[in-house]
C-alpha cells in the first residue's frame, strides 16, 4: 500500500477487508453548486451542509443564526428595523447584496436593495431540513446575486411529518414564536399548510421591534410516474420598529411591511439522470415608511416672512422622510434540462426576470421603473478518468440597464483513494448593481418633492463588480465516515467594488445634516487570502461534533473619500471566525448540546460600526417524550452564557438570553 494511503487509512482497517463503503460512509448529495446532483466530494467549490441534526442541536430561534456554523460566515443581527446582515468574508454592510438566498428553488433576495427579509420568509427553523451553503462565487449557477456565495434552504419533506404539528417558543426580549401546520400525503397529492406568528423586541434601547404574521402552503402533485408539479405560496406581513438613533434622518417610529410570493415548478423525468423542468415564480414586496419631521421654517429656525426671497412658497411646506418606502413586483421564468451520458452530465438552461419598482419617494422618479434580466447558463461534469473529474460552467447575464457580463468556472477533482479528494478551481464572476444602486437618492423632501438633503446616489451610474477566485481544497473521511474534514485555501480578488464616498462639494439645495452628499461609486478593490476548515466527528451514535474555523487576511484599497477611511478603523473582513457545536444523547429522550462561537474584530460598513471580537457560549437541554399518538419535545435554551457583546453596531448589546420551546407532533 502506498505511504499516502497508509497515512490516510486507520491502521486497524488497513487490510483486505477495507471496502469503499467503509471509507465513504454517508456522503451528502447536494444540488446547489452546479445545479447537478453531486456528492460533496465531486463539487468544484467548497460547500457546507447544515443538516437537521445540526440545526436542532444549535438551539437557535432565528434562521440567520444558523450561518454562524459555516466557516468564513459572519452574522450581524438587527442592523436596522431588525434586518440581519449575513456575509461571507466580511465585505458587507446592512445591505447584504452579494449573497443569493433560495428557498426550495425560489429566490428570496429582494430586487430593490438586494437584502433578505429573514423575518418574512414564510418559514421557521422547524421547517428546514437542511441548508446548502456555497462558500465562494456561485454566479455560474445562480447569476449576479450569488457574487460571493449562495444559501439554498431546503424545507422538510411533507411525508416526514404528516398530521398536525405545533411549536411554541418564548423567552428574553419578549420573544415569542407560535406555529401550526398540517400535512397530508396521498397517492398523487401531498400538501402542507402552515401559519406562524413571531415577535421580538430586539435589542434593549433600540427601536428594532419586529412582528411577522406568516402563512404558507406547499405541495406536490404527481401527474404520472414521470411528471410532477411542485408549488409553494406564502404571505407575510407585520410592522417593524424603524430607526433607533433618534436623529433627523433616522427618527424613532414604526413602519409596515408585507410580502407575498409563489413558485410553481413542472418537472418531467424521462430516464434517471435525464429530466427537464419549467418554473414560474412571482413576489410582491411593500413597505410603508414615510414620516413627518417639521415645516422647513421650523427646522431652519426662521419665519417665512423674514426670508421672502429664499425658497418662496416652500418654507411653510412640511419636510417628509421616506427612507424605505416602496413597492416591488417580480416575475421570474426559468427552464433547465439535465442530460446524462456515460462519462458526463450536463445541466443547461436559461431564465427571464422582470422587476417592477415603485420607488418614487426614495428616488424622486415619478413613475414605475422596470428592469428586465436575461440569463443563459450551462454546467458540465465530465469524468476524464476514474480518479479525475472535470467541472466547467458559464453563465451570460444581461439586463436593460447595465452591460451584460459572462461569469465562468473551471474545477478539477482528483481522488487520491476512496474518501480522499483534492479539489482545485478558478472562477470569475460579476455582480450587476441592483436598480436602486443606480438611482438611489434617499433624501429629505418637501411636500412638493423638492430634495433637501441627499443621502446617497450614483450620479454617473455604476459598473459591475468583478471577483476572481482561486481555490485549492482537500476532503478526507476516516473510520467509516464517522470523521470527515474539509480544508480550503483561497485567494479572492475584488475589483470595481461599489462603495460609499462623501463628496462635500456635491451641489444641494439645502443641507440639513451634512454638506455635500453620500455617493455610490466603483472605487474599491480588495484581495483576501486565507484558509478555512470544517470538521464533523461522530465517535458513536450518541455523540456529534461539528467544528469550523476560518482565517482571512484582507488588503483593502479604497477611494480617499470612502466611508471606510473616515469612520472605521477595523478591517471589513475579520481575521478569525470559529464555531464548535457538540451534541450528546443520554438516552431516555434526553439530549444536551453546547455551541461556542467566536468572531474577530471587524467593521460593518453603513449603519454599522467597528465591533470588538467576542466569544459566545450557548447551551440547550432537550427532552423527547412519546405520548399516545404524538411526540412532544421540550427545550430549554440559553444564549451567550457569559459577558455581553455587541452585534453589528455599538447600540446592539447582546446580553444573556433564555428561551423555552415546545414542539408537539401528532401522527
Name the residue with higher pLDDT: 532 or 608.
532
Under 8 Å between Cβ of 395 and 143:
yes
CATH code for the domain in which residue 62 is found? 2.40.170.20
Residue (of 594, 665, 593, 589) closest to 623 by Cα position: 589
Over residues 418-440, mean pLDDT:
88
- 428's grid cell: 470569475
The answer, yes or no, to whether residue 453 has pLDDT greater than 60, is yes
Q: Answer yes or no: is 194 within a domain.
A: yes
Distance CA 172, CA 638 (A): 10
Q: For residue range 331-342, list pLDDT tens digits in order.
A: 999 999 999 999
CB-based contact 190:82 (threshold 8 Å):
no
Q: Which residue has the cell 413597492?
A: 327
* pLDDT cut 90: percent of the chain above it: 59
Distances in whole angstroms, Cα of residue 78 to Cα of each of 119, 209, 226, 607 = 11, 9, 45, 10
Least confidently predicted of 37-41, 53-57, 499-503, 536-540: 499-503
Mean pLDDT of the 443-462 span: 70
Cell of 162: 404528516
pLDDT at residue 15 is higher than 60: no
Q: Which DSSP helix (H) or strand (E) runs through 485?
A: strand 483-503
**Per-residue pLDDT at 19:** 42
Helix (H) or strand (E) holding 435: helix 435-439
Phi, psi for residue 478 in degrees, rounded to 5: -135, 165
Query: What are the start-end ranges of the H helices in 261-344?
Result: 296-300
498 pLDDT tier (thresholds 50, 70, 90)? confident
Q: How far apart are CA 43 and CA 38, in angstroms?
A: 6
pLDDT reading at 259 higher than 50: yes
Which of the four pLDDT bands, split at 50, 70 and 90, describes residue 506?
Answer: confident
Q: Is residue 336 part of a domain?
A: yes
Q: How many CB atoms lie within 10 A of CB 103?
A: 23
**Residue 591 pLDDT greater than 90, yes or no:** yes
SS (H, E, C) 349-372: EEEEEEEEEECHHHHCCCCCEEEE
3-state secondary structure of 205: coil
Domain-located, residue 316 = no
Q: Is residue 298 part of a domain?
A: no
What's the Rg (C-alpha) of the chain?
26
Record the pTM: 0.91
Of 33-42, 69-78, 425-434, 453-462, the range with the lowest mean pLDDT is 453-462
Domain membership of residue 10 as a residue range: 3-211+224-289+324-666
pLDDT band at 402 (very low <50, low <70, confident <90, very high): confident
Burial class (CB in 10 A: 0-12, 13-18, 19+), 278: middle
Residue 409 has pLDDT above 70, yes or no: yes
pLDDT of residue 94: 73
The band of 136, judged by pLDDT with boundaries at 50, 70 and 90, is: very high
Tell whether 348 is covered by a domain: yes
User: Is 357 domain-assigned?
Assistant: yes
Q: Is residue 308 part of a domain?
A: no
Confidence at residue 557, expressed as pLDDT on a 0 to 100 scale: 87
End-to-end CA distance of the chain: 52
Cell numbers for 86: 449575513
Rounded CA gap, 557 and 150, in Å? Answer: 25
Q: Closest Cα to residue 83, out of 214, 226, 209, 222?
A: 209
Coil/strand/helix, residue 115: coil
Planar angle of CA 631, 542, 11, nearest 5 degrees: 155
Number of other residues whose CB lies within 10 A of the CB of residue 344: 12
* Alpha helices (runs of H) in 116-167, residue ranges in sequence order: 139-142
Which tens digits make up the pLDDT trace of 146-197? 999 999 999 999 988 899 999 999 999 999 999 999 999 999 999 999 999 9
pLDDT for position 502: 78
Q: Could you give the CA distance from residue 239 to residue 201 in angstroms, rounded to a whole number?
A: 12
The answer, yes or no, to whether residue 436 has pLDDT greater than 60, is yes
Q: Into how many domains does the chain fold?
A: 1
Q: Is the pLDDT of residue 2 over 50?
A: no
Amino acid at each position: 500500500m502506498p505511504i499516502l494511503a497508509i497515512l490516510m487509512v486507520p491502521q486497524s482497517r488497513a487490510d483486505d477487508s477495507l471496502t469503499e463503503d467503509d471509507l465513504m460512509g454517508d456522503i451528502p448529495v447536494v444540488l446547489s453548486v452546479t445545479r447537478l446532483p453531486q456528492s460533496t466530494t465531486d463539487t468544484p467549490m467548497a460547500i457546507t451542509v447544515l443538516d437537521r441534526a445540526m440545526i436542532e442541536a444549535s438551539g437557535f430561534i432565528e434562521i440567520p443564526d444558523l450561518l454562524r456554523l459555516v466557516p468564513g460566515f459572519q452574522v450581524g443581527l438587527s442592523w436596522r428595523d431588525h434586518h440581519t446582515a449575513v456575509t461571507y468574508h466580511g465585505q458587507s454592510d446592512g445591505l447584504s447584496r452579494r449573497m443569493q438566498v433560495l428557498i426550495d428553488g425560489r429566490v428570496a433576495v429582494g430586487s430593490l436593495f438586494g437584502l433578505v427579509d429573514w423575518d418574512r420568509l414564510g418559514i421557521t427553523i422547524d421547517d428546514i431540513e437542511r441548508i446548502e451553503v456555497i462558500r465562494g462565487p456561485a454566479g455560474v449557477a445562480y447569476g449576479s446575486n450569488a457574487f460571493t456565495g449562495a444559501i439554498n434552504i431546503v424545507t422538510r419533506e411533507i411525508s416526514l411529518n404528516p398530521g398536525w404539528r405545533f411549536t411554541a417558543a418564548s423567552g428574553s426580549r419578549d420573544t415569542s414564536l407560535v406555529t401550526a401546520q398540517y400535512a397530508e400525503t396521498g397517492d398523487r397529492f401531498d400538501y402542507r399548510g402552515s401559519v406562524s406568528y413571531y415577535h421580538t423586541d430586539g435589542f434593549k434601547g433600540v427601536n428594532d421591534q419586529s412582528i411577522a404574521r406568516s402563512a404558507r402552503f406547499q405541495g406536490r402533485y404527481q401527474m404520472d410516474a414521470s411528471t410532477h408539479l411542485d408549488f409553494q405560496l406564502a404571505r407575510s406581513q407585520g410592522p417593524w420598529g424603524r430607526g433607533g438613533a433618534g436623529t433627523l434622518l433616522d427618527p424613532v417610529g414604526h413602519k409596515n411591511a408585507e410580502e407575498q410570493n409563489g413558485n410553481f415548478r413542472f418537472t418531467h423525468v424521462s430516464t434517471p439522470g435525464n429530466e427537464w423542468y419549467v418554473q414560474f415564480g412571482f413576489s410582491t414586496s411593500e413597505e410603508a415608511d414615510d414620516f413627518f419631521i417639521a415645516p422647513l421654517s421650523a427646522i431652519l429656525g426662521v419665519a417665512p416672512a423674514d426670508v421672502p426671497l429664499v425658497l418662496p412658497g416652500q418654507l411653510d411646506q412640511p419636510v417628509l422622510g421616506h427612507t424605505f418606502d416602496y413597492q416591488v413586483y417580480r416575475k421570474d421564468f426559468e427552464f433547465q434540462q439535465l442530460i446524462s451520458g456515460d462519462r458526463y452530465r450536463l445541466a443547461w438552461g436559461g431564465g427571464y426576470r422582470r422587476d417592477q419598482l415603485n420607488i418614487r419617494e426614495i428616488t424622486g422618479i415619478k413613475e414605475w421603473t422596470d428592469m428586465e434580466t436575461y440569463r443563459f447558463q450551462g454546467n458540465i461534469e465530465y469524468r476524464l478518468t476514474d480518479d479525475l473529474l472535470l467541472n466547467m460552467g458559464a453563465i451570460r447575464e444581461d439586463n436593460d440597464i447595465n452591460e451584460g457580463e459572462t461569469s465562468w468556472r473551471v474545477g478539477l477533482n482528483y481522488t487520491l483513494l476512496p474518501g480522499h479528494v483534492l479539489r482545485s478551481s478558478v472562477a470569475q464572476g460579476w455582480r450587476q448593481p441592483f436598480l436602486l444602486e443606480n438611482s438611489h437618492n434617499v433624501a429629505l423632501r418637501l411636500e412638493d418633492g423638492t430634495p433637501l438633503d441627499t443621502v446617497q446616489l450614483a450620479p454617473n451610474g455604476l459598473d459591475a463588480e468583478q471577483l476572481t477566485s482561486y481555490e485549492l481544497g482537500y476532503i478526507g473521511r476516516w473510520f467509516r465516515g464517522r470523521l470527515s474534514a474539509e480544508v480550503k485555501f483561497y485567494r479572492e480578488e475584488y475589483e470595481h467594488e461599489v462603495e460609499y464616498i462623501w463628496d462635500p462639494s456635491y451641489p444641494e439645495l439645502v443641507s440639513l445634516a451634512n454638506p455635500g452628499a453620500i455617493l455610490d461609486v466603483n472605487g474599491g478593490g480588495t484581495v483576501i487570502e486565507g484558509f478555512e476548515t470544517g470538521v464533523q466527528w461522530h465517535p458513536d451514535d450518541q455523540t456529534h461534533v461539528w467544528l469550523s474555523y476560518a482565517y482571512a487576511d484582507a488588503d483593502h484599497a479604497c477611494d480617499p473619500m470612502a466611508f471606510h477611511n473616515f469612520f472605521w478603523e477595523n478591517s471589513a473582513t475579520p481575521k478569525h471566525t470559529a464555531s464548535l457545536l457538540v451534541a450528546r444523547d443520554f438516552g431516555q429522550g434526553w439530549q444536551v448540546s453546547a455551541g461556542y462561537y467566536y468572531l474577530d474584530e471587524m467593521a460593518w460598513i453603513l449603519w454599522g460600526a467597528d465591533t470588538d471580537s467576542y466569544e459566545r457560549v450557548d447551551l440547550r437541554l432537550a427532552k423527547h417524550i412519546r405520548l399516545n399518538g404524538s411526540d412532544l419535545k421540550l427545550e430549554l435554551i440559553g444564549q451567550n452564557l457569559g459577558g455581553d457583546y455587541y452585534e453589528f453596531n455599538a447600540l446592539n448589546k447582546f446580553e444573556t438570553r433564555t428561551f423555552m420551546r415546545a414542539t408537539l407532533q401528532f401522527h
